[in-house]
Each structure stands twice: as C-alpha cells, then as structure tokens.
A and B are shown apart, each in its own frame.
Chain A
Amino acid sequence: MVQNATFGKIGKGRAILIGLTALGILVGIYRLFAGLGAATNLSDAYPWGLWVSFDILTGVALAGGGFTISAAIYVFNLKKFEPLLRPAKLSAFVGYLVFIIGLFFDLGQPWRIWHPMVMWNPHSVLFEVSWCVMLYTTVLAIDVFIWALERWRKDDWVNFFRTIYVFLIVAGIVLSTLHQSSLGALFLLLPEKMSKLWASPAIGPLFFVSSIIGGLSMVTLESILSAKAYGKKPEMEILSSLGKGLGLALVIYFAMKATDLYAREVSVWSLGWAHLLFYVEIFGCVALPALLLYFPEVRNSTTGLLWAAGLAAFGVMLNRFNVSLTSYGGYRDFWYFPSAIEIILTVGLIAQAILIFDFGLRYLPVYPELSPHEVKTG
C-alpha cells in the first residue's frame, strides 16, 4: 500500500506509540477489574481527577478545530482554509473517539455509558453534554466515512452524502457550540468550591472561546508537525492566516476574562498558588502568544507558529486543570495527585490518538498530496 520510505520518520516512533498504547490497555483492563478506588488516587474529597481534567475537558477543547475550521469556511466564507478542513475534522474525530474511551474508564459503571440515551434528565447540563458529544461524534464519523467511500470509489454514495452535507456542517457547529460551552457550565453548580478566579457565571462562553483557541492552536501544531513527519512543506500562507485568527481569538478571550474579573471585583493581585497558576495561564499562555502572533515574523515562521500555538494549547489545558482540579477544594485537608495508573492510561490514550490520526492520514484522502485518491467533495 504505502511505502515505509515515504513515512520513515513516523515509522520509527510508531513502535513506541504502540508500546504505550498496549501499556494503556493493560492498566485499563486492571482498572476495569480492580475498580476506580484501587486504580486511581481519587477519593470522596476529589471525585474528579486527571481523567476528567485531561482526557475529557482538555481533550474536547483541543479537538475544537473541526467545528472552528468548518465554521470559518462555510459560515464566514474564508475559503482559503479549505486544505485544513479534513485534517482538522480527522483530529476532532480522533479526539472525540479517544475522549469516549477515556470516559468509559472514568465512569464507575462503564457498561452503563449508554444510559443517557434512554434515561433523561433535561435539567442536567451533563445530560446535554453527553447527547451533544454522542451526536457530534456521529457527525464526525459520517464525515470520515465519506472519505472512506471516496477511497473505495463509491461515487453514488458520496453523491448521496453531498446532498445532506449542509446538514452535517450546521449540526457540527451547533452541537460543538453547545457542548463546548456546557462543559464549562458544569461548574456553574459549584462556585463555592472553586477559586473566584475561575468560578464565574460567564464560564460557559469562556469555555466556548477557549475551545476555539484550543482548536486553532491544535490545527496549527498538527499541520506543522505532520508536514515535518511526512517530509512535506507546511502551507505557510494558510497557517500564517490561521495564526492571525488564533491571535484574534486570544485577544477576545483575554478581554472577556478581564471584563469578567473586573465585573465580579475579584482581587487579581496576590502570590497564592491559585494566583500564580492564573498568571501563567492568562499572561504566559493567552497574552504572550497573542503578542507573539501580532508580529508577521512570528506568523511566517514555523518555529514562531509552533511556539505561539504550543503556548496557547498549553494555556487551554492549564485552564481546564485550574477550573476542575487545582482550584477545586471541598476539604482542604485532602490532597490529590494522579496515580501511576491514571497517568499511564492517559499517556496510552494520547499515543493511541496519534496512531489513529496517522492511520487516517495515510489511508484516507485527508491531505490531497498524501492521499491515495484525488477525488474531493466539499
């Protein structure tokens, strides 16, 4: 099929990735038989830990590229981003797939993961999140399936899906808007257990905008890194435009956050650990990359873009950890740090995500120049 010579660089790393995935599967099996208490450091004082903060909250935010690029192209008519659409959607699909696997291991009753489909509580934010995630993953799966149909030259089928394409686009954007913001709204119920720096009534919109930051920065990182890995040139013209968009999103987020803190009269200046994390997040990972992206020299260099997008993506991750973990404190005399099993499973999920993404890039028409097939729908 595809020769290793073309993809030599990934080939070397693949063994490590497969090893990490296998390790993740092993500890996952242990987790299923031994239970959450034995496998994790979670407790009644810290019911949510690394798996919620990283696998779920961070994972979903960083997979926001699919809907962001799709909205840029079809809603805001920025057609130049079209070459990025498929990689962004593929990474979103892989992100959600891995997120659902992570959620499976995090649930106390994994085999009941389907319950929200038939057992409804329309008052629950988490109920809405689970429905949106189920539906959005289905939309992304249909997208990926269309590429597979293209590859198999089932043109009749591809044409059929073209007729419902607008429905898929709109559904993807609506579902993402809802659940990206609602993941923040989960924390509307527990302001008293969080630091005031993050416990905001505006946490829904803030989560939404930061998921756009997460999506744009991940698309940038993935484009540059996969171009390097497959030995092709990154499309700098598109990526530097994307960098402008990322800068804009960062500035908007910074303004929203500043307005929110000012309106709630939160004392921002202090040297407590919560404040230090806040400074790293808001100055180091929002203001700094925004400033970097202001300069054309940064936007036009791969290294510059890597740094700016890397900082922004790290900032989104730090934000999710700050909201759900570092700022959370029910009982202060308890302490939580993830167990080895929690960390190994998470690393396994990341490795698995890269493997599936790589598989998708090689076997599906995602990048025109890499794909085994040239036909393209919208």
Chain B
Amino acid sequence: MKAVLIDTTKCIGCRACQVACKSWNDLPGETSTFSDSWSNPKYLDADNYTRIIFQEVHSPAGDLHWHFIKRQCNHCLVPACESACPVGALKKLPDGPVVYNDDICIGCRYCMMACPFQIPKFEWGKAVPLIRKCTFCADRLASKQLPACVASCPTGALRFGERDQLLKEARRRIGASPGRYFPEIYGEKTGGGTSMLYLTAISFETLGLNRNGFRTDLGDYPQGMHGREWMAKVPWVAVTVAGLCTGLYYLNKRRAEVQAQEKQEG
C-alpha cells in the first residue's frame, strides 16, 4: 500500500505542487482573487485537485505562526465514497489510489455527501457533469513515476513510499525532534486510516481546520462501514419480512375460509 507523508513543517507554501497537479491533469488555469488568507484558490473544485491552506495561528506566547497544510483526496483505506457509490464508480486500488471511473458514474453526488473530508467535486459548469478529484496520479504510479505533486516538491515536504515505512519514518521524526512536531499523525487512524499522512507542528484541533476538510471528530472507524453494516443486515430483514407476510397472508386466508364454511354449515 503506497502512501505520501506530508511533513507540513517542511512546507514553504510555494505551491509548486498545485502547478504540477494542474499541468499533469490538464486542468485550466484561472484568474486569482484576493481572499482573507494567502490560500489560492480559496476552495478545491472540479479544476483544483489540491491546494495549500495558509493557516495563521497564534501560539500561546502570542506570536503569529503560519502553517501550510496541503489538501487533496486523502485516499482512505476504507473510503466512504467507495461504500456510497451505487454503481461502483469509485474504487480503492490495492496500490493505494482511490480512483473514479468516468464511464460508470450516474452523477447522484452521494460520494460528495458521504466523504468525511469533502473531496469529490462536481463539474457544475458542464451540461453533463462528472465527479473530479485527486487521483493519487494512479496513471503515473502505473509507470513507476512519483505523483506529480511529490515530484515537484522542492523541500521534501512530500515523501512517497510504502505506508508502513512512512509511518515508521514519521514516528522517527517525531522522536528525533519532539519540539518540532505534534506527536500524532493525522491519517494514521483518522476515519479508519488514509494513504495521506500528515505531520504538523501543532494539533489539528489547534489548527482549526474542521470546516476546511480536516475534521478532528471522525474517530478511528471508517464512515463507510456504517453503510456496509446496514447492507449486511438487509438480506435478513428481507427474508424475515417476506416469511412473516407470506405466513400471515395464508393464515388470514385460511381463517376466512373456515369462517365462511362455518357460516354455511351453521
């Protein structure tokens, strides 16, 4: 299982990853607008699969610190979108990427509702729209190339590799410089675990990105499992209800026949 370790303490906010992502995926550029932070674009959408959030946080001492948090599909180990999709257009590949099949999707947008990180985006500008999101450069991985964002990163903030080895590396970094990192890896267990693993200087609670796709209330259990558990019960409910209804139907019918006969005889 491949993964990417995102060491946000090494990110300098150059956004080379955003440019590399656009150029590899052939996504159109757009006119920038000012917003309340230096983040640009302001949101992910069908033309922006990744962006760096420039988050300003006051430390307890009162200094202002900038945190650069890269956002893209987290490629969950048990993706909610995969459990949600009625036609199986979203799939977790054994290699790690969660990929989307253009030819199957019916455009119901349940994946958008279900994703705990709010990643799948819709082509609202098109007459016959599809879902768009980061693909983990599954096409590049297939030809032994690094994901475009990882290949473009000048500081080594993005590191591609086997997930368990990257987790070891992340823990090594935390152990080697305890002051530099918050001692938890976002994505190790978040929402059942993801293929994108985040090292941060402070906790995600303190970063305050709950409304920007980095929820801290997800727990360790994959959201999609709730749907799978429901589906596991469905056949039994069907058999039980069918059995009861058929039985009672014939019982009622028989009772009516007996009553009719008794009336005739009496």
Q: A82 to nearest B CB, angstroms?
A: 12
Contact residues of B between 122 and 152, Cβ < 8 Å to A? 122-130
Q: Do B227 and A189 touch across chains, with their CB atoms under 8 A apart?
A: yes
Given contacts A35-B126, A48-B109, A115-B87, contact A170 B242 (CB under 8 A): yes
Q: Do B118 and A124 touch across chains, with their CB atoms under 8 A apart?
A: no
Give the CA-CA distance A166 to B237 in the complex, in Å.
19
The listed residue with most A CB atoms (<10 A of its CB), out of B85, B128, B238, B245, is B245
Q: Which of B43, B45, B211, B246 contacts A170 (CB 8 A)?
A: B246
Q: Quick check: is B157 within 8 A (CB to CB) of the other chain? A: no
Contact residues of A between 104 and 149, Cβ < 8 Å to B? 106-110, 112-113, 115-116, 119-130
Which of B24-32, B181-189, B196-204, B247-255 is found at the contact surface with chain A? B247-255
Count residues of A near B (Cβ-Cβ below 8 Å): 61
Given contacts A107-B107, A169-B249, contact A189 B86 (CB under 8 A): no
Given contacts A108-B105, A119-B104, contact A189 B114 (CB under 8 A): yes
Q: Do B126 and A182 touch across chains, with their CB atoms under 8 A apart?
A: no
Q: Quick check: is A285 within 8 A (CB to CB) of the other chain? A: no
Q: How does the 8 Å CB contact mask read for B215-242 relative to A, with 1 for contact and 0 for none? A: 1011000011011101100100110011
Q: Which of A34, A123, A177 contacts B227 (CB 8 A)?
A: A123
Given contacts A182-B234, A190-B223, contact A109 B107 (CB under 8 A): yes
Q: B44 to nearest A CB, angstroms?
A: 8
Q: Do A182 and B124 touch across chains, with their CB atoms under 8 A apart?
A: no
Contact residues of A between 155 and 174, Cβ < 8 Å to B? 166, 169-170, 173-174
B interface residue count range (under 10 / 10 to 19 / 20 to 34 / 35 or more): 35 or more
Q: Which residues of B contact A369 (CB under 8 A)?
A: none
Given contacts A185-B227, A188-B230, contact A37 B86 (CB under 8 A): no
Q: Which of B227, B245, B249, B250 contacts A124 (CB 8 A)?
A: B227
Give the CA-CA distance A267 to B24 in the complex, in Å.
49
Q: Please give me the residue from chain A that is nearest to B231 by CB atom.
A: A123
Q: Do B231 and A174 touch across chains, with their CB atoms under 8 A apart?
A: no
Give the CA-CA distance A279 to B108 in the complex, in Å.
31
**A interface: dominant SS:** helix
Give the CA-CA distance A48 to B110 in the complex, in Å.
8
Give the CA-CA distance A112 to B238 in the complex, in Å.
27
Q: A23 to nearest B CB, angstroms?
A: 21
Q: Do A190 and B86 touch across chains, with their CB atoms under 8 A apart?
A: no
Q: Do B106 and A112 touch across chains, with their CB atoms under 8 A apart?
A: yes
Q: Which of A75, A77, A121, A181 contacts B85 (CB 8 A)?
A: A121
Q: Quick check: is B57 within 8 A (CB to CB) of the other chain? A: no
Q: Which residues of B contact A128 (CB under 8 A)?
A: 231, 234
Give the CA-CA distance A192 to B217 in the complex, in Å.
7
Q: Which residues of A contact B51 (CB under 8 A)?
A: none
Q: Which residues of A contact B121 (CB under 8 A)?
A: 44
Which of A250-258, A287-295, A302-310, A330-338 is found at the contact surface with chain B? A330-338
The listed residue with most A CB atoms (<10 A of its CB), out of B80, B129, B228, B241, is B241
Q: A208 to nearest B CB, angstroms?
A: 10
Give the CA-CA distance A71 to B245 in the complex, in Å.
8
Give the CA-CA distance A34 to B126 in the complex, in Å.
8
Q: Do B122 and A121 touch across chains, with their CB atoms under 8 A apart?
A: no
Q: Quick check: is A25 within 8 A (CB to CB) of the other chain? A: no
Q: Do A108 and B223 touch across chains, with their CB atoms under 8 A apart?
A: no
Q: Quick check: is B83 within 8 A (CB to CB) of the other chain? A: yes
Q: Quick check: is B88 within 8 A (CB to CB) of the other chain? A: yes
Q: Do B245 and A173 touch across chains, with their CB atoms under 8 A apart?
A: yes
Q: Do A125 and B227 touch across chains, with their CB atoms under 8 A apart?
A: yes
Q: B125 to nearest A CB, angstroms?
A: 5
- 26 of the cross-chain contacts (CB-CB < 8 Å) are A36-B129, A37-B129, A44-B44, A48-B109, A75-B245, A106-B108, A108-B105, A108-B107, A108-B108, A108-B130, A115-B106, A116-B106, A119-B87, A123-B82, A123-B227, A123-B228, A124-B88, A126-B108, A127-B86, A166-B250, A170-B245, A170-B246, A170-B249, A177-B237, A177-B238, A190-B114
Chain B residues near A (Cβ < 8 Å): 43-45, 80, 82-89, 104-110, 112-114, 116, 118, 121-130, 211-212, 215, 217-218, 223-224, 226-228, 230-231, 234, 237-238, 241-242, 244-246, 248-250, 252, 255
